[in-house]
Structure 1
């Protein structure tokens, strides 16, 4: 059965039609982004997958459902969200040598509660016309006066920017990060608004010269006729931390406490780190594979190479509350 014929819009649909699915997933990822890889799994194994897109409130939903929850797995687009789910006690450890062998230690929790499936880098989109090669080198330098009035970004309270701020705390501590956030704010060309692609549009329109964004948005823009001109106006730059590499974030997966279809769910988790699944992820989502030896797509490879920062993702996630407090204290979005 095709995944598209069993796609559920909510947990209520999942619960009402359990016979349609062998594995039920609550996800903050747009279903169309992961349908191709789930379709391939179903075709290979005969196990149907039922996706319920849950934009907000996964923790509350899983707590309310308790042992009756139809969800076997949760998938998120950000380590902070994934760690919040883990901290809520609504997932269980997964003892899988397949997962431990496939996924580097820094991309999974030490207690086997979550596992990364893909990576993306939080990079700088730089104007081809107004920013010289080598002008952007570090995240720390984004607070330097030379960028006064030249930076665009989405909300400082968004998960992607909170993760970057959490990583800055991990590298330099809270006091430094507060000063850094104030410096970046003072360099903004406009108040934060829109998503990552909106920032590239602003560069194209001449409103700013650089912006923060995730790598895969370039793939989305170049494949959209209405946005390709925006993409052509910028190039991707991979900044680093002064004492580290380029900031990365992950999409990840965890098994719920209830997991009514545990064996099938485990089979899916292990399949998602197979070369076949990682290749599909790379081609369809313009993300970076997590398994050693798996190559990014030709498009992604064309953006250049980088050395990912290997600060433990659990540590970065643990600084989310401090990062949020700093962004609120400096009134970053004000």
Structure 2
């Protein structure tokens, strides 16, 4: 059963049942359907999904111990860290989770666990940019890109994540100068989502943009956007002293969790080889369990080495990253 937020209020009054698990999700229910269907088929446990556009932490805090939610699904390390800081999650220890989730992709105390990764890459015009022209994130501040870069808002979580990673690698002074350089290279004021940047490249408004890998898969399956996708190459820049910036989708057990045993079963299922394959294919992301592989389409975009800076360290720089974005008036 999939419930949007407007109808999910019924969950609040529902008693805990032995064979169900309730999710609050920032991911659309249709993206989770292949997973939840497979879990129910394997275990007989019914999955109820309440999709929230925003305000997950605030909702959980308001519901307190009466919350019907067992698990939260979200993307971006900042949202997972915010949930932990708000006290709405609880630690989970499991040999299955530990074996299948690399250390850099879960909270040291078990408060959240990663499920898939996505790389923050460069989309580059096939006609106007050679594949070897973009090799590092630092290079995006080079004057050779003046008037050639498109990007979404500097205050968006994805942009803040990259800036926070730059802080982790280079410190504040360098990152501020880098941000100023990238801003001076923009072809237009930051706007739109990642796919809108690819459309702008296709339209000739700019030559390169930042984006998440999975958007390429989403564009290729949309007849109206396939031409945009086919106009660009996927490039995997790195930090000069590191790898390619990645972020995660993840899961955490709520502090209230009325169906705790079922919630743990679902968490362990989500990192199983079967579920990792289904999840990665459905969302064009990279599975994290050892021995699991990305969908062939995703593999076709090329390989990369993920940056090894711990995601919790990056999360710790996010407030500083936002301050720098505002200081240089990146969106102005």
Structure 1 position 99, deviation (Å): 0.4
Structure 1 position 7, deviation (Å): 6.1
Deviations 1:141-195 (A, max 9, x none): 1011001000000111000111111100110111111111111111000001110
Structure 1 position 314, deviation (Å): 0.3
Secondary structure (helix, strand or coil) at the match of 2:131 reads: coil
Q: Does 1:303 find its partner at 2:301?
A: yes
Secondary structure (helix, strand or coil) at the match of 2:324 reads: helix
- From 126, 133, 136, give the equivalent of 1:135: 133
Gaps of 5+ in 1: none
Secondary structure (helix, strand or coil) at the match of 1:170 reads: helix
What aligned pairs does 1:38-187 form with structure 2 within 5 A after superposition?
38-187=36-185
Q: Which runs of 4+ in 1 moved over 3 A?
A: 6-11, 16-21
Secondary structure (helix, strand or coil) at the match of 2:256 reads: coil
> How many Å separate the matches in 1 of 2:10 and 2:188?
42
Does structure 2 retain, via aligned residues, the 8 Å contact 1:166–1:323? yes
TM-score, normalised with respect to structure 1? 0.97
Does structure 2 retain, via aligned residues, the 8 Å contact 1:7–1:50? no
Residue of structure 2 in register with 1:14 after alignment: 11
> How many Å separate the matches in 2 of 1:331 and 1:48?
48
Structure 1 position 53, deviation (Å): 1.2
> How many Å separate the matches in 2 of 1:79 and 1:275?
23
Structure 1 position 32, deviation (Å): 1.3
Structure 1 position 87, deviation (Å): 0.8
Structure 1 position 18, deviation (Å): 4.8
Secondary structure (helix, strand or coil) at the match of 1:23 reads: strand
> How many Å separate the matches in 2 of 1:67 and 1:255?
13
Gaps of 5+ in 2: none
Q: Does 1:243 find its partner at 2:237?
A: no
Residue of structure 2 in register with 1:189 after alignment: 187
Label 1:257 to 1:233 Cα distance change in 2 as closer, same or farther (>3 A): same
Structure 1 position 311, deviation (Å): 0.6
Does structure 2 retain, via aligned residues, the 8 Å contact 1:8–1:50? no
> How many Å separate the matches in 1 of 2:322 and 2:166?
12
Does structure 2 retain, via aligned residues, the 8 Å contact 1:59–1:90? yes
Deviations 1:80-105 (A, max 9, x none): 11101111111100011110111000
Structure 1 position 22, deviation (Å): 1.1
Structure 1 position 16, deviation (Å): 3.9
Deviations 1:43-89 (A, max 9, x none): 11110111111122111111111110101111111111110111111
Does structure 2 retain, via aligned residues, the 8 Å contact 1:128–1:233? yes
CA-atom RMSD in angstroms? 1.3
Does structure 1 retain, via aligned residues, the 8 Å contact 2:16–2:259? no
Secondary structure (helix, strand or coil) at the match of 2:133 reads: coil
- From 252, 255, 273, give the equivalent of 1:254: 252
TM-score, normalised with respect to structure 2? 0.97
Does structure 1 retain, via aligned residues, the 8 Å contact 2:69–2:258? yes
Does structure 2 retain, via aligned residues, the 8 Å contact 1:33–1:285? yes
> How many Å separate the matches in 2 of 1:13 and 1:166?
39
Secondary structure (helix, strand or coil) at the match of 1:24 reads: strand
